[in-house]
Chain A
Amino acid sequence: MEALIKPELGLTIWTIVCFVLLVLLLSKTAWKPLLQAVAERERAIKNDRESAETARAEAEKVKAELDARLAQLRTEIQARMGEALQTAEREKELLLTEARKSAASIVEFARKEIEAQKLEAVRELKNKVAELSLLTAEKVLMKNLDHRANTELSARYLAQVEKERPDLKMSA
């Protein structure tokens, strides 16, 4: 059994030679391509992750921008709407006052017109009445030249006439 624990030096040399050769050969033929493949894959994965991350950051940036724009638009819309309401209110007030004013002026103008017409009518009537009275007086005078009595008479007649026809009253 001593063969079990008596190392054969020649085999040790074989082992060392064999192992060293194996290390040199396998490093070239096996481990290098393996590690290259692994590194390539790791790089590809890293690239993918980086591009995904940049895409996400981009998307987030765009979203933030859109949100900001949206908020801005919302405030703008509110401001515009408030403004529009105010303008409408003012416009309404303006229109109303304008309308009132023009209505009042129309009324005033109509009243003045009526007044003027009335005065005109009165003056005409007065002239006619005076003419009539003169003609009447002339006739009366022709008949009765008692001036004083006639004047009194005419005044009385006139008063009588005025009393009978109040619409011809001249003290309007």
Chain B
Amino acid sequence: MLRFIVRRVLGAIPVLFGLSVILFLFLRLLPGGGPAVAILGQHATPQLIAQINETQGFDHPLYVQYLDYLGRLFRGDFGASVIDGRTVAESFAIRFPATVELTIGALIFAVGLGIPLGRLAARHPNSWIDGVVTAISLFGISIPVFVLGYTLTFFFAVQLHWLPAFGQIDPRLNVPPVTHFAIIDALLAGNWYVVDAVAHLILPSIALGSIPLAVITRITRASVIDVSNEDYVRTARAKGLTDRRVNSRHIMRNAWLPVTTVIGLQVGALLAGAVLTETVFTWNGVGSWVVTSIQNHDYIVVQSLILIFATIFLTVNLIVDVGYAFLNPRIRYS
């Protein structure tokens, strides 16, 4: 098992190196007169350009710049925003909790609804129930998060006033930011403020969770049907075991394997989807930060955020692979 983990961790390292080279070149080879002009705009004064070249080291030879960049990455220095001067690490620490909250919310929605729906459809294959479930998942993968987000906002916030339309918590509550997780901060503040924080999380979670919901539903359905046709399931039934016991002990135990893998893979889709969802719901996380940084030509931030997103994505995939090997001995020993 340890060898498997070590092998997988070592496999991720060249990928991150490769990505660091590409992202390094992304910033240095920006079209339109080099990085300084791209960051400052066409009307920058020569003094400003000279200044940024000086501070960022853009006038050094490329290989020196790359080694310097790599050295800073190893020290956890991801550069600073040219807009507000804050370091990426500093802003990331404030914004990342919001993205984590949103991602967990979306996962709870997708897994909590997707697995029961998939099992339901698998129990009645080719029935009208199956048809409805298939239609839901088709819709889920076909609707962009921003279209679903605004549709939900229109019905549940604008028309019905049941849920808030944007933000993580009502600013009038003056909840002091301690952990930057809105729900935890609200819990710490007491007064049932947490209800407000959870209410803010519902619509974004549904919007972001729609694609994972569709994928998880589909794979659960397929996996359960697949396992249900196995000989050992027939044997179990023939032995006279109750339906419940066959379902829990024989079918679901084996059907879980592909489902867990897919859930892990969906984390990547969630990170990418957060970029759009956070923009729709003015959610102050890392996703909306990517968008504002691009709009502000804050390329150093963009560069670092893509690298951070990829690192998180690779790490999650690694955990999923290890977890899968843990659940399924056939993988571990091959």
Q: Do A and B truly interact?
A: no
Q: Which residues of B contact A (CB under 8 A)?
A: none
